[in-house]
Chain A
Amino acid sequence: MLPIAIIFICSFFPVLYNTITGIKTVPEDFIKVAKTLGASPIKILTTVILPLALPNIFTGLRLEAGMAWRVIIAAEMVAIPTGIGALLMRAESLIRVDIIIVCLMVLSVMCLSFEKFFYTWSKN
Chain B
Amino acid sequence: MPVINLKNINNFICQNINLKIADKELLVLLGPTGAGKTTLLNIIAGLIDYQGTILFDDTPIDKLPVNVRRTGYLFQNLALFPHLDVASNISYGLRMKGMSSKKVKAKLDELLKLMKIENIAHRYPKNLSGGEKQKVALARALAPSPDILLLDEPLNSLDFRTSRYLRMEFLRLQKELEITSIYVTHDLVEAEEMADRVAIIHNGKLEQVGVPQEVFLKSENESVSNFLGTPNILDCEYCRVLGEELVEVNCGGIKIIVPHEGNEVRKIAISPSHIYVSREKPPGPDLNRFKGMIT
Q: What is the interface of chain A, defined by CB distance below 8 A to chain B?
A: 27, 29-30, 32-40, 43, 47-48, 51-52, 54
CB contact under 8 A between A38 and B79, given known A32-B47, A32-B73, A33-B73: no
- A68 and B65 CA atoms in complex are apart in Å by 44
Indicate which residue in B71, B77, B81 contacts A36 across the interface (CB closer than 8 Å).
Answer: B71
Please, which residue of chain A has its CB at the minimum distance from the CB of B93? A37
Contacts of B77 in A (CB 8 A): 29
- Report if B122 contacts A (CB, 8 A): no
Contacts of B72 in A (CB 8 A): 36
- A47 and B69 CA atoms in complex are apart in Å by 20
- A51 and B93 CA atoms in complex are apart in Å by 17
Contacts of A34 in B (CB 8 A): 92, 96
Q: B133 to chain A: closest CB distance in Å? A: 13
Give the interface residue-count category, chain B.
Answer: 20 to 34
Interface centre among A32, A34, A37, A52 (most CB of B within 10 A): A37
List 30 interface pairs A-B (beta carbons < 8 Å), by A numbering.
A27-B79, A29-B75, A29-B77, A29-B79, A30-B79, A32-B45, A32-B73, A32-B75, A32-B79, A33-B75, A33-B79, A33-B140, A34-B96, A35-B47, A35-B65, A35-B66, A36-B47, A37-B92, A37-B93, A37-B140, A37-B143, A37-B144, A38-B68, A38-B96, A39-B67, A39-B96, A40-B67, A40-B96, A43-B96, A52-B81
Q: Are B81 and A30 in contact (CB under 8 A)?
A: yes
Please, which residue of chain A has its CB at the minimum distance from the CB of B75? A29
- A39 and B73 CA atoms in complex are apart in Å by 14
Contacts of B71 in A (CB 8 A): 36
- A90 and B47 CA atoms in complex are apart in Å by 65
Contacts of B83 in A (CB 8 A): 51-52, 54
CB contact under 8 A between A38 and B93, given known A30-B79, A52-B83: yes
Q: A94 to chain B: closest CB distance in Å? A: 54
